[in-house]
Amino acid sequence: MRSTINIAKAMVGPVERDTPPRKMSRRSVGEIIFFVAATVSFLLCMGTLVVMVVDLVQTSAGRLTWQFLSGVSSRLADRAGVLPAIAGTVWVTSIAMVISLPIGIGAAVYLEEFCRRSALSRVLEIAIANLAGVPAIIFGMVGLHLFVRWCGFGRSVLSGGLTMALVVLPLIILVSREAIRSVPRDVREGSLALGASTMQTVWHQVLPAALPGLLTGAILGVCRIIGEAAPLLALGAVTYLTKTPSGLDSPFTTLPIQVFNWISRPQVAFHHNAAGAIVVLLMVLFVLNGAAIVIRARGQRRG
């Protein structure tokens, strides 16, 4: 009964002279709602991570053996391994980075150091920003059209690497530009004042000073390639492989593609394999990210 009165009172609200306390209480209710929302949001992210890790560890526990790491494809879940997938990932990543890293850094240097603001540079900016947002699967289709068919490379590790180079190029350009932009103006002017050309300044001063940032960008690019599956799906990466790629024209698979293949099968045993392959994939990414953090920290200390 008393609580009903209280609620009624609260609904009507006290009279004007009581303004400050009423405001205080309403404010704190709002804050509580906000804090609850923030906590729930945070727990959703945290929970996802925790559940994911726990599930992966449990599911993959029996599968993470040497035989799994060194084995090749098999129709039997407990005989299948990820070696071809690991080798394929290394191949694709290496090819993609060898191509996209110099081009990406070159483009970043051009845009930051040589390109004067103009309508033309604006077109370049838009093209790059847009490429960064093109869905990965579309790069796969273009790779299929361009490399597999038109260039005649077939469904080979070369086509895969070239396609992945397209996928990471915008990312590498963006991160490298950031790294180059963070080199102080003073360094450039100091070099130019000694009579160095802009090109000499770039080679001898800007790029060395930007190196930690460029390396971090490269590692981010590698992580992106390692985890990306969609473009290779479109290229038709093979998933049943009994040996590792031996050359640029070899058929290939990668870790995410292998995961996709296993998870798409109805048998639960293959799902366990998928979990195992995911753990391998995440471990690699974890190590790479750790390296990126170390490099960034060193770069900051030095700069």
Q: According to CB under 8 A, which residues from 16 to 45 bind other proteins? A: 27, 30-31, 34, 37-38, 41-42, 44-45
Report the first-to-last Cα separation within the chain, whole angstroms: 69
Q: Shortest approach of other proteins to residue 235 CB, angstroms?
A: 8
User: Hunting for tokens 């579309």 — which residue is that?
Assistant: 138
Separation between Cα atoms, residue 15 and residue 67, nearest integer Å? 78
Binding flag, residue 290, other proteins (CB under 8 A): no
Residues 127-146 that bind other proteins (CB under 8 A): 127-142, 144-146
Q: Shortest approach of other proteins to residue 65 CB, angstroms?
A: 20
Residues 226-255 that bind other proteins (CB under 8 A): 226-230, 233-236
Contact yes or no for 158/95 (Cβ under 8 A): yes
User: Hunting for tokens 């070696």 — which residue is that?
Assistant: 83
| Closer Cβ to other proteins, 157 or 209, answer by number | 209
Spell out, one character per residue from 168 to 207, where the chain touches other proteins: x when CB under 8 A holds, - when not.
-xx--x----------x-xxxxxxxxxxxx-xx---xx--
Closest CA to 175 of 229, 101, 226: 101
| Closer Cβ to other proteins, 198 or 246, answer by number | 198
Instruction: Tell me how crowded residue 302 is: count the other CB atoms within 10 A of its CB.
Output: 9
Spell out, one character per residue from 268 to 287, where the chain touches other proteins: x when CB under 8 A holds, - when not.
---x--xx--x--xx--x--
| Closer Cβ to other proteins, 240 or 246, answer by number | 240
| Closer Cβ to other proteins, 126 or 297, answer by number | 126
DSSP alpha helix (H) spans, the chain: 2-12, 19-60, 66-70, 83-109, 119-133, 136-143, 157-181, 185-193, 198-201, 207-227, 230-235, 255-263, 268-302
Phi, psi dihedrals of residue 70, rounded to the nearest 5°:
-105, 0
Q: Shortest approach of other proteins to residue 145 CB, angstroms?
A: 4
Closest CA to 255 of 64, 83, 52, 22: 83
Q: Shortest approach of other proteins to residue 4 CB, angstroms?
A: 29
CA dihedral 25, 31, 32, 34 (to 10 degrees): 150
Separation between Cα atoms, residue 290 and residue 222, nearest integer Å? 13
Separation between Cα atoms, residue 236 and residue 90, nearest integer Å? 18
| Closer Cβ to other proteins, 130 or 246, answer by number | 130
Which span sits near other proteins by CB under 8 A: 4-12, 61-69, 80-88, 222-230? 222-230
Residues 54-113 that bind other proteins (CB under 8 A): 55, 59, 102-107, 109-111
| Closer Cβ to other proteins, 69 or 115, answer by number | 115
How many residues touch other proteins under the rule CB under 8 A: the total is 101
| Closer Cβ to other proteins, 97 or 209, answer by number | 209
